Amino acid sequence: MPRITRRFHSICRQKFGGILPVIILLLLGLLMTDSTSTALAEAPQSIPDPRPAHHVVDLTGTLAPNDVAAIDASARRASAHGELMVVVVQSTDGKNPREWTTRLFNQFALDTRRRNRGVLLMAALADRKAEIVVGNGFPAGITTATDAVMNGVVVHHFKAGNPRNALLQGAQSIADRVVPWGLTAQASSSIPAIPRDEHADPENPVSGTPGNEHPIAVWMARLGAFGCLGVALRQILRRRPRKCSRCKVPMGRLCEQEEDKHLEPGEVKEEQIGSVNYDIWSCPSCGETLKTRWGAIFTHYSKCGTCRYRTLRTNSRTITPATEYSTGLAELTESCSLCSHKRTYQRIIPRVSPSSSSSGSGGGSSSGGGSSGSW
Ligand SMILES: [Zn+2]
Ligand SMILES: [Zn+2]
């Protein structure tokens, strides 16, 4: 920047002398305070946050309005699993592009703090440099995906002299291949995973830092395993042999049709809708019966306040959705599939906490993991 203004100053002095260059410098100074209207100010702090209207900042005039719309569409698609942002500047003014981009990522606090799967694609056109910086919520192997997009798409199109394609297809590839990486079987199989230690990059110590964080997928798998274990344990407990308390001989379990004769009408209804399972054990010698009750783990039904059976279904309809600033209102309708119980009432939906919204100070952070490219 000083270089440019100095040159301007000398041109002005040659041609106009005296007062004019001072006025022009003052005007230039005024312009520079508004970072959106000039491509000169390119410190991270001066990059305006385009959200919520857009997910792209172009200070170079490279992108046409429909290009911006296409990148915004990619960002919308990515929003199911993370947050995509594209920033195009002329230069990082001699600053290390990775550090510059990481600072901007943290300034924007991309994605939510909990999910932390923000991805920032930065291109500095005059420097001929690009960066993809990812949030700390990604697994360490994510650089396989960012490298593939950086080299195969972004740098490829920049080298071919097509910056619009580099940015548009770069954003599209990030939305499809980087943001959902490691979450779906399809996304992780499209890019082969590499072992963690092979990926360590000695030249770039900031990359691949998220080591002790457990990605959501791992926790989901663990939860799933726990659930399966619980269900299996229940089955073992349910099917374990019973002995008659009087004769001490093993009892037999009755089949479904036989069972219904020993159940109340309300219990038959619970079995029909799947909210509760009953087993009837019967002694072959004295005819003594034993009833065991197994409530379903996953069911929409709850206990009815009138008939006391687990036959109550509650449907919810949002009247006014909650926002970060105001509570919402929902209408709930209870109806029992056994008795005539029916009730409609309203309930307040609590405000959405800022940390779970997609922007704001409670957002994601990055230690600078990702990929660099130049052309
Ligand atoms: Zn018996
Ligand atoms: Zn009822």
Tell me which of 298, 325, 341 is where a domain ends.
Answer: 298
End-to-end alpha carbon distance in the chain: 23
- Give the Å distance between the CA of 343 and the centre of ligand 1: 46
Question: Does residue 169 sit in the same domain as residue 120?
Answer: yes
User: Cα(271) to centroid of ligand 1, in Å?
Assistant: 26
Cα(268) to centroid(ligand 2), Å:
13
| Residue 167 clears pLDDT 90, i.e. is over it | yes
Residues 74, 19 within the same domain? no
CA of 296 to the centre of ligand 2 (A): 18
Convert the pLDDT of each residue in 126-135 to its tens digit.
Answer: 999 999 999 9
- Summary mean pLDDT of the chain: 82
For residue 266, give the ligand nearest its CA: 2
> Would the pLDDT of 52 be above 50?
yes
Are 259 and 368 within one domain? no
Q: Distance, CA 290 to ligand 1 centroid (Å)?
A: 10
Residue 133's pLDDT is what?
95
Distances (CA, A) of 259 to 247, 263, 289, 307: 22, 7, 10, 21
Better-scored residue on pLDDT, 121 or 48? 121
The backbone region for 318, taken as left when phi is positive above 0, alpha when psi lies in -120 to 50, beta otherwise, is beta
- The rounded Å distance from CA 167 to ligand 2 centre is 60
Tell me how crowded residue 226 is: count the other CB atoms within 10 A of its CB.
10
Q: Specify if 78 maps to a domain.
A: yes
Give the whole-angstrom CA distance, residue 81 versus residue 189: 17
Element housing 85 (H / E): strand 83-89
pLDDT of the residue at 23: 52
Nearest bound ligand to the CA of residue 290 = 1
| Within-domain flag for 224 | no
Assess whether 73 and 208 both reside in one domain.
yes
Its pTM surpasses 0.95: no
Is the peptide bond preceding residue 210 cis, with omega within 30 degrees of 0? no
In a domain, 277, yes or no: yes
Task: Quote the ligand 1 centre to 255 CA distance (angstroms).
Answer: 18
CA–centroid distance, 305 to ligand 2, in Å, is 7
Residue 38 has pLDDT above 90, yes or no: no
Q: Is the pLDDT of residue 11 over 50?
A: no
Closest-approaching ligand to the CA atom of 313: 2
Residues 50, 29: one domain?
Answer: no
CATH number at residue 51: 3.10.310.50
Phi-psi region of 31 (alpha: psi -120 to 50; beta: other; left: phi over 0): alpha
- Cα of 286 vs centre of ligand 1, distance in Å, is 4
Q: Is residue 60 part of a domain?
A: yes
The residue out of 258, 279, 298 marking a domain boundary is 298
Domain count within the chain: 3
Domain interval for residue 108: 45-216+364-374
Spatial CB neighbours of 292, under 8 Å, sequence gap ≥ 6: 238, 278, 279, 281
Could you tell me if 134 and 73 lie in one domain? yes
Q: Within the chain, what is the greatest distance between any pair of CA atoms? A: 119
Choose the final residue of a domain: 278, 298, 318.
298
Q: Which residues of 97-121 are buried (b: 16+ CB within 10 A; e: fewer)?
A: bbebbbbbbbebbbbbbebbbbbbb
| pLDDT on residue 331 | 93
Q: How far is the CA of 301 from the centre of ligand 2 (A)?
A: 11
Ligand number, closest to the Cα atom of 306: 2
- Asked if residue 348 is part of any domain, the answer here is no
Higher pLDDT, 291 or 187: 291
Q: Looking at the CA of 245, which ligand is closest?
A: 1
Is residue 327 domain-resident? Answer: no
Q: Are residues 161 and 191 in the same domain?
A: yes
Over 90: is that where the pLDDT of 198 sits? no
Distance of CA 290 from the midpoint of ligand 2 (Å): 25
CA 245 / ligand 1 centre spacing (Å): 7
Q: How confident is the model over 226-232, as a mean pLDDT?
A: 86
Q: Which ligand is nearest to the CA of 305?
A: 2
Distance 303 CA to ligand 2 centre (A): 8
Q: How many angstroms is it from 266 CA to the middle of ligand 2?
A: 9
Q: How many CB atoms lie within 10 A of CB 374?
A: 14
Q: What SS3 state is found at 107?
A: helix
Question: Looking at per-residue confidence, does 41 or 107 come out higher?
Answer: 107
Neighbours of 61 (CB within 10 A): 8
**Cα 341 to ligand 1 centre (Å):** 40
CA of 265 relative to ligand 1 center, distance in Å:
26
Q: Does some domain include residue 189?
A: yes
> Nearest ligand, CA of residue 251?
1
pLDDT of residue 184: 60
pLDDT in tens, 336-373: 999 999 999 999 988 877 654 444 457 888 888 999 99
Is residue 57 located within the same domain as residue 176?
yes
- With cut-offs at 50, 70 and 90, classify the pLDDT of residue 225: confident
The pLDDT of residue 210 = 44
Q: How confident is the model at residue 21 (pLDDT cuts 50, 70, 90)?
A: low
Same domain membership, residue 151 and residue 69: yes
- For residue 298, give Cα distances in angstroms to 38, 234, 278, 321: 58, 14, 16, 26
Q: How many angstroms does the Cα of residue 237 sit away from the middle of ligand 2?
A: 29
pLDDT digits (tens, 9 = 90+) for 235-262: 899 889 999 999 999 999 998 888 999 9
Q: What is the C-alpha separation between 75 and 73, in angstroms, rounded?
A: 5
Report in angstroms the alpha-carbon separations of 250 from 15, 235, 258, 262, 361. 111, 18, 18, 19, 65
Together in a domain, 95 and 58: yes
∠ CA 42-145-183, nearest 5°, is 110
Ligand 2 center to 342 CA (angstroms): 9
Residue labelled with tokens 């949030």? 135
Residues 119, 140: Cα–Cα separation, whole Å: 14
Whether residue 235 is contained in a domain is answered as no
State whether 57 and 88 are in the same domain: yes
Based on the fold, state whether residues 107 and 13 are members of the same structural domain. Answer: no
Alpha carbons 146 and 179: distance in angstroms, whole number: 10
Count of residues making up the chain: 375
Distance of CA 254 from the midpoint of ligand 1 (Å): 15
Ligand 1 mean position, distance from CA 122 (Å)? 78
Minimum-distance ligand to the CA of 334? 2
